[in-house]
Amino acid sequence: MSCSHATTTTVAWLYGEAPDAHALHVAGCPDCAAVADDHAGVVGALGPALGALRDAAEAPAREPVPRRSRWAIAGFGLAVAAAAALAVSTRAIPPTVPSGATAAPTIAAIDTFDAALDDLDLDVATLEQELQ
Amino acid sequence: MTVRNTREIADVASSSLDRRIASLGTELLGFLRRRTVDPEEVAQETWIRVAAADPDCPDDRSFRAFVYVVARRLLIDAARRRARARPLVPLDGGQHPSDDAPPDAALSAGQSLAVVERTLREMKPELAEVFRWRMTTDLSFKQIAERQGVSLNTALGRHHQATNHIARALREHGLWTE
């Protein structure tokens, strides 16, 4: 953004902390008008749910799921997949199975776990909001 | 200049403003209805502010831009007032529907809230903190800056960054009203 007011005076003005006269500048400045649009748009999208953010602001911050736990789960999945891969490799492999088949399920398992954890986080957040 | 002439000039100016306001009335109301549960109240306040400012806009296009900029600021004011007025104790087991909002608006707001909460958790804590405080409390940017031990401009910039992230996330999830 080239306008020096875009992330300072204009933001202050949007929340009633700069002179009303700044409105004329905002109306004529593409950068500042875009800032106004973004801020009003966020507020508009939240609508009546904006107040729910207040509870989070006042309550102790929820501890995020430690990355260590995620890796522990993924590691368990990796161990299971590796054990399965080992079991497959010790049996007679039919000539039709491709040579890279034992590696693919392991990587796919980790990706699947991570994606599932991300989806679960969003679901939990949605449920928490509904329960409040 | 005679009194009659100044009065005529004032009348002409007033009628020009009235004409411009009248030409945008319905359009502005439609814009506000998609963004707030109090469109009439925000529209009325917008016209009061515009009339009081009586901006020196050279043409209708710049006047329209001015009106919308004022309306956007008042949208933020109204939403923050409602957020602060919401009772802390839920009266009906946790639901906080607005009496004036249609059910689909409440559903959309809930979806937006989930996206916003997730985005706030993913961003730097100092950005999320400014956003939550400024949106839901009476703390000024100056007070927030003092709490965080940073300059006023830094606090303003943090709030803007947080809002930017959230706006992008809402657009990506199709929850943005153009």
Does residue A64 surpass a pLDDT of 50? no
Instruction: Enter the tokens of residue A93.
Output: 């492999």
Is A121 within 8 Å of B109 when comparing Cβ atoms? no
Is B113 within 8 Å of A14 when comparing Cβ atoms? no
Per-residue pLDDT of chain B (178 residues; tens, 9 = 90+): 444 566 666 666 567 888 888 889 999 999 999 888 889 999 999 999 999 998 888 888 999 999 999 999 999 998 888 877 765 444 444 444 444 555 566 677 888 889 999 999 999 999 999 999 998 888 999 999 999 999 999 999 999 999 999 999 999 998 887 7
Render pLDDT for A91-112 as a digit per residue (tens, 0 to 9): 544 445 445 444 444 545 545 5
Contact criterion met (CB below 8 Å) for A113 and A77: yes
> Can you count the helices (H) and strands (E) in chain A?
6, 0
* Confidence check on the interface: ipTM exceeds 0.85, yes or no: no
Report the candidate in B18, B162, B26, B38 with the shortest Cα–Cα distance to residue B100: B38
CA distances from B152 to A9, A32, B33, B73, B135 (A): 10, 18, 34, 20, 16
Instruction: Enter the tokens of residue B29.
Output: 């109301």
Residues of chain A with C-beta less than 8 angstroms from the C-beta of B55: 23-24, 27
Instruction: Enter the tokens of residue A48.
Output: 């009546």
Is B79 within 8 Å of A47 when comparing Cβ atoms? yes
CA dist., res. B71 & res. A38, Å (int): 13
Torsion of CA B46, B77, B82, B115, to 10 degrees: 120
* pLDDT number for residue B101: 53
